[in-house]
């Protein structure tokens, strides 16, 4: 059931949409933009449901025939368009929107088209839609959902109301998962690496890939300090297997050293991310000085900065590992 009250965060965005409805200033085209998994689709669908509600208020009544049809997934005047292809082509746009919108609504006030991953539309598809957006029928509303609004042509952008959704706050995400079967020792770690996305947290919870990388990072940290120089090159080779996720790998490594530093300074505290590894953090921190930990954190930051500047991938990792190793026993 789609209602504004159930949506996590985005209160300002929701209030603006409700004010548009209240003051009858609804546009004919919208772009809901933001990172994956923060609620763009849910907000667009709830907005569409509210616009079609027969009570004509700023939130759906969930009782009228329109709301019931919407919740059943069989609303005759709301259309959800998506594709599994790499791009959304001109034929799909013409068949699903351009031609169909010429026919008046079957039963309700508007004909609403919600286009998922709309930033995948080809230039030809966008150009095909341009006339429809410029001169829409009074009953026509098109909602685009995107993760990168800059992929739209300037002519499309200038004719749409851009609704920009910011990443969710950690507390908002935590509230969402209060009733979910998630390990309380892991939720803060998931949230830290989610980028403010509930969807990203769900993916980490459902996939073993996140935990696999973290276990490798923990092992690498231990081997850096206990192994010889040859071991460093072995670690660097292993890290190359995660080239596409290297930012994530380095962030996990940074978080591990950060937790060791925190636990040495304050002991077990709520700001530690790897709560399920407290004993291991304590053991690792025994032989690492504050100086050493600070330099390790700096080495990781330097590697991330060099990689952002397109430095040699292998060399940047080697230098980072060597710098961490060099100061292993420094006090």
- Per residue in 254-274, pLDDT tens? 999 999 988 887 766 778 888
Rounded CA separation 289/97 (Å): 63
* Residue 1 pLDDT: 78
pLDDT score for 328: 54
- Ordered alpha helix ranges (H), the chain: 11-22, 40-52, 65-72, 90-93, 123-134, 154-157, 170-176, 187-192, 198-206, 209-226, 229-240, 246-265, 278-285, 290-308, 313-326
pLDDT of residue 99: 87
Q: How many CB atoms lie within 10 A of CB 40?
A: 26
Cα–Cα distances in Å, from 210 out to 37, 110, 143, 236, 275? Answer: 17, 44, 33, 19, 16
Torsion angles phi and psi, residue 148, rounded to 5: -150, 90
Query: Which tokens belong to 276?
Result: 């399920």
Closest CA to 191 of 252, 275, 273, 280: 273
Low-confidence spans in the chain with pLDDT less than 50: 329, 331
Q: According to the model, what pLDDT value does residue 209 have?
A: 87
- Strand partners of residue 30: 143, 161
For residue 58, what pLDDT is reported? 95
For position 187, what pLDDT does the model report? 87
Q: Could you read off the pLDDT of 192-245 as tens digits, one per residue?
A: 888 899 998 988 888 888 889 999 999 999 898 888 888 999 999 999 999 988
CA angle 257, 261, 267 (to 5 degrees): 130
Residues 6+ apart with CB under 8 A from 294: 261
Q: How far is it, in rounded angstroms, from Cα 205 to Cα 228?
A: 35
pTM of the model: 0.81
């Amino acid at each position: 059931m789609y209602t504004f009250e159930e949506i996590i965060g985005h209160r300002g965005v929701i209030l603006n949409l409700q004010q548009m409805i209240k003051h009858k200033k609804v546009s004919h085209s919208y772009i809901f933009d933001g990172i994956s998994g923060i609620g763009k689709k849910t907000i667009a669908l709830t907005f569409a449901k509210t616009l079609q509600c027969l009570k004509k208020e700023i939130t759906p009544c969930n009782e009228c025939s329109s709301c019931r049809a919407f919740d059943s997934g069989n609303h005759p005047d709301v259309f959800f368009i998506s594709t599994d292809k790499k791009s959304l082509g001109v034929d799909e746009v013409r068949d699903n929107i351009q031609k169909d919108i010429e026919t008046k609504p079957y039963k309700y006030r508007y004909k609403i088209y919600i286009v998922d991953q709309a930033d995948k539309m080809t230039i030809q598809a966008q150009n095909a839609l341009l006339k429809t957006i410029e001169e829409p029928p009074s009953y026509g509303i098109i909602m685009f959902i995107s993760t990168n609004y800059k992929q739209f042509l300037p002519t499309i952008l200038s004719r749409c109301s851009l609704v920009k959704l910011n990443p969710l706050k950690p507390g908002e995400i935590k509230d969402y998962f209060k009733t979910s079967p998630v390990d309380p020792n892991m939720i803060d770690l998931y949230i830290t690496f989610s980028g403010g996305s509930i969807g990203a947290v769900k993916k980490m919870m459902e996939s073993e890939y996140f935990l696999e990388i973290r276990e490798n990072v923990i092992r690498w940290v231990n081997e850096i300090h206990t192994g010889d120089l040859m071991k460093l090159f072995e670690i660097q080779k292993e890290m190359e297997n995660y080239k596409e996720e290297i930012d994530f790998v380095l962030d996990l490594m940074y978080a591990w050293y950060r937790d060791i530093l925190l636990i040495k300074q304050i002991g077990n505290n709520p700001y530690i991310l790897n709560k399920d590894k407290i004993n291991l953090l304590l053991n690792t921190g025994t032989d690492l000085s504050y100086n050493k930990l600070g330099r390790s954190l700096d080495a990781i930051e330097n590697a991330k900065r060099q990689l952002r500047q397109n430095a040699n991938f292998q060399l940047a990792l080697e230098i980072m590992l060597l710098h961490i190793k060099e100061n292993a026993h420094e006090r």
